[in-house]
């Protein structure tokens, strides 16, 4: 597998993440001046005009003619044939995930969709519960292992929040956010394709890199950006924050917007290190800002045996 780390120019810190389910790029500055890289080298001048245009075109492609999502309040995903491997913990099966802005998250996994062997984890603020396949409820908060388990579930929740932002795109815009078009590039291996490279710049830091597929004219020049094929969230090796690559493939039309039928995510501890895949999933249904019942995040009732 060819790492896309060669697509960018210098490392910068990752500010978008309390974890990632989600690079190494230049630090861009305002006003059309030249960009000074972290090592003091002078790089190219940023192109915010085309960067903003291509990003807006991708937003329109994802929204598929529907009103764009300006802010993700909640998120639901039904994922088939999923493999998750984070910090030595590996889980496989069919997943259903619910995310809510109010520090709430619900995770359900079963080995096969037809089997009633679901394990459920619920996060509500700093409280966490686990429901085993035999319906036994355990409160994790207040236990010796509680802080670690709760911290991990909060990280998973933030990964889902990152992923929701990647899928809607519009919610990544803001008053101090600009998009810098760096040019056409190519990826290899799992990242194969012709891409428009667009850096999301906040202040003077590029935190996220988008690689958009695009339509070409007869001469092969880019005309219009379409779907985000690769999204890179910049890490910081000095803080032990890995760079994460999200591979979004086979986009299809859903009832509300387009979404990828295949998602893979990789982490890279330091530049040049091997990529480690921590997620592979095949979305069956994705809903954003839907009516999620609050009861899904409440403390589960303990049912005595019958």
Contacts of 267 (CB under 8 A, 6+ apart): 20, 235, 242, 243, 244, 245, 275, 276, 278
pLDDT in tens, 190-217: 888 999 999 999 876 768 999 999 999 9
Which residue, among 151, 159, 155, has the nearest Cα to 233 in the 3D structure?
159
pLDDT in tens, 272-292: 899 998 888 899 988 888 889
Could you tell me what percent of the chain has a pLDDT over 90?
39
Contacts of 81 (CB under 8 A, 6+ apart): 94, 280, 281, 282
pLDDT in tens, 218-274: 999 999 999 999 999 888 888 888 899 999 999 998 777 888 999 999 999 888 899
- Whether 123 is in a domain gets the answer no
pTM as predicted: 0.73
263's enclosing H/E stretch is strand 258-268
Given a cut of 70, is residue 305 above it in pLDDT?
Answer: no
Number of domains in the chain: 1
Higher pLDDT, 85 or 192: 192
- Whether 126 is in a domain gets the answer no
SS3 call for 154: helix
- Whether 272 is in a domain gets the answer yes
> Strand (E) positions, 13-88?
74-86
Instruction: Give the pLDDT score at 303.
Output: 58
Given a cut of 80, is residue 62 above it in pLDDT?
Answer: yes
Which residue, among 188, 213, 157, 142, has the nearest Cα to 22 in the 3D structure?
157
- Whether 150 is in a domain gets the answer no
* Structural domain harbouring 226: 4-69+163-283
Measure the CA–CA gap between 51 and 32, rounded to whole angstroms.
13
Neighbours of 201 (CB within 10 A): 25
- Whether 129 is in a domain gets the answer no
């Amino acid at each position: 597998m060819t790492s896309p780390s060669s697509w960018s120019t210098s490392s910068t810190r990752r500010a978008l993440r309390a974890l990632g389910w989600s690079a190494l790029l230049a630090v861009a500055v305002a006003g059309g001046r030249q960009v000074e890289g972290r090592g003091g080298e002078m790089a190219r001048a940023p192109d915010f005009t085309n960067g903003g245009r291509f990003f807006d075109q991708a937003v329109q492609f994802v929204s598929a003619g529907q009103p764009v999502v300006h802010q993700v309040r909640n998120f639901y995903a039904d994922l088939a044939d999923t493999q998750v491997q984070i910090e030595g913990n590996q889980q496989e099966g069919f997943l259903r995930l619910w995310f809510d802005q109010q520090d709430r998250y619900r995770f359900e996994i079963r080995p096969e969709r037809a089997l009633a062997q679901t394990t459920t984890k619920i996060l509500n603020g700093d409280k966490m519960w686990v429901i085993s396949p035999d319906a036994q409820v355990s409160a994790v908060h207040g236990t010796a292992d509680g802080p670690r388990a709760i911290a991990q579930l909060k990280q998973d929740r933030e990964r889902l929040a990152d992923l929701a932002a990647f899928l809607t795109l519009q919610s990544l815009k803001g008053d101090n956010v600009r998009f810098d078009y760096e040019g056409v590039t190519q990826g290899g291996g799992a990242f194969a394709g012709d891409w428009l490279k667009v850096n999301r710049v906040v202040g003077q830091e590029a935190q996220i890199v988008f690689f958009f597929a695009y339509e070409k004219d007869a001469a092969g020049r880019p005309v219009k950006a379409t779907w985000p094929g690769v999204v890179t969230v910049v890490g910081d090796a000095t803080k032990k924050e890995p760079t994460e690559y999200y591979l979004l493939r086979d986009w299809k039309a859903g009832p509300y917007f387009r979404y990828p039928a295949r998602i893979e995510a990789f982490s890279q501890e330091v530049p040049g290190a091997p990529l480690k895949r921590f997620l592979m999933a095949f979305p069956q249904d994705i809903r954003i800002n839907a009516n999620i019942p609050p009861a899904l995040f409440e403390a589960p009732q303990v049912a005595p045996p019958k």
